Amino acid sequence: MDDKPASKLTYSDITPKGAYTNRRNFLFGMLATGGAVTGWKHFSNWMSGPATGSVPVKLNNVKKGPFSTAEAITPENDVTTYNNFYEFGTGKGDPSRNAKNFRTSPWTVSVEGEVKKPRKLSMDDIMKIAPLEERIYRHRCVEAWSIVVPWIGYSFSALANLVEPTPKAKYVAFESYYDTRQMPEGPSAGIPFPYLEGLRMDEAMHPLTLLCVGMYGETLPNQDGAPVRMVIPWKYGYKSAKSLVKIRFVKNQPPTTWNTATPEWYGFYSNVNPNVNTVRWSQATEHRLGGGIFSRPIPTQIFNGYGDKVASLYSGMDLRKYY
């Protein structure tokens, strides 16, 4: 990969060495067990083709994006070892342990529904839709912990514009990957899969809404939603679906996983709001990860501090009713 200019690199070029080692081991395993490998061309395609992307690798040509907070960035180790990704288990340490061999290449995201130009996008396609930006956002989980993360991606609106939504598109539905062969912990998580989320069209098109392919200068770790996820910083974390495989523009408000499972606790909107006690506990304060055992809870801000940019989307709506 060193002999190509950065602009010519493909997503498979940035697949880490470790993945090729896995591939090679697998290949030799096949040879040893008599697996069919016909001719050199087949062999070399296999060796140079996309591999399992299990280790994050550096992303080049990332410019500083808008909307970044100057708050202290949460240590990367906290963000990659304390996760919610129920397909890989419900313990906070489960995703980092259980998603190690998750295959994220090849990968296809189907963009469909009420659009003029439906597309099946590869990761190479997705990496080229718009210049990559680093955006340092606050992320607030409904469980009352929060993090500050240097995400990498671009506004979701760039992808939407590519497929040209029709006037009938009023909402966007997001679907995460699900396969029990890779996610054997999924069936005991207690929520239905595939994980579904949704946004109103104006929320999806808001420039803060990020289609995210990396963090901390690198591609996404598997446990944080590789190879591509959503990040919607003014909403509780569960709105930001990981490891996306389908994006559907639709006429009606789509069903969402947590709202379907427990509608009293999880609404469709899920805007961060210290005054509305969703779930079983107060949302007035939060605990910032990585501050050590003496760190104190901090006050939660309405719309997670992004109200100056997004409050107008909800003018005239009763935020207690549309939680």
Binding stretches for Mo ion (CB under 5 A): 84, 141, 237-238
Task: Give dist(CA 271, CA 140) in Å, integer.
Answer: 10
Out of ligand MTE, Mo ion, none, which partner does residue 259 contact, by CB within 5 to 8 A per kind?
Answer: none
Tell me which amino acid residue 170 is.
Answer: K
176 binds ligand MTE (CB under 6 A): yes
240 binds ligand MTE (CB under 6 A): yes
219: left (phi over 0), alpha (psi -120 to 50) or beta: beta
- Cβ proximity to ligand MTE, 224 vs 286, nearer residue: 224
84 binds ligand MTE (CB under 6 A): yes
One character per residue 291-310, x = contact with ligand MTE (rule: CB under 6 A): --------------------
* Shortest CB 78 distance to Mo ion, Å: 15
* Shortest CB 240 distance to Mo ion, Å: 8
Residue number, nearest CB to ligand MTE: 237
86 binds ligand MTE (CB under 6 A): yes
* Shortest CB 238 distance to Mo ion, Å: 5
**276 burial via Cβ count (<10 Å: 0-12, 13-18, 19+):** middle
122 binds ligand MTE (CB under 6 A): no
Tell me which amino acid residue 321 is.
Answer: K
- Cβ proximity to Mo ion, 185 vs 286, nearer residue: 286
Tell me which amino acid residue 4 is.
Answer: K
**64 burial via Cβ count (<10 Å: 0-12, 13-18, 19+):** exposed
One character per residue 202-231, x = contact with ligand MTE (rule: CB under 6 A): ----------------------xx------
Q: Which of 141, 169, 213, 310 binds ligand MTE (CB under 6 A)?
A: 141
Q: Which residues, 6+ apart, have CB-to-CB distance to 116 below 8 Å?
A: 163, 164, 165, 166
Are the C-beta atoms of residues 13 and 4 closer than 8 Å to each other? yes
Out of ligand MTE, Mo ion, none, which partner does residue 156 contact, by CB within 5 to 8 A per kind?
Answer: none
CA angle 204, 108, 102 (to 5 degrees): 105
241 binds ligand MTE (CB under 6 A): yes
Task: Give dist(CA 53, CA 12) in Å, integer.
Answer: 9
CA dihedral over 127, 232, 174, 91, signed as positive or negative? positive
Out of ligand MTE, Mo ion, none, which partner does residue 146 contact, by CB within 5 to 8 A per kind?
Answer: none
The reply to whether omega before 194 is within 30° of 0 (cis) is yes
For residue 63, the number of C-alpha atoms closer than 13 Å in the C-beta half-sphere is 6
For residue 58, the number of C-alpha atoms closer than 13 Å in the C-beta half-sphere is 5
- Cβ proximity to Mo ion, 109 vs 141, nearer residue: 141
The residues binding ligand MTE (CB under 6 A) are: 79, 83-87, 141, 176, 195, 224-225, 237-238, 240-243
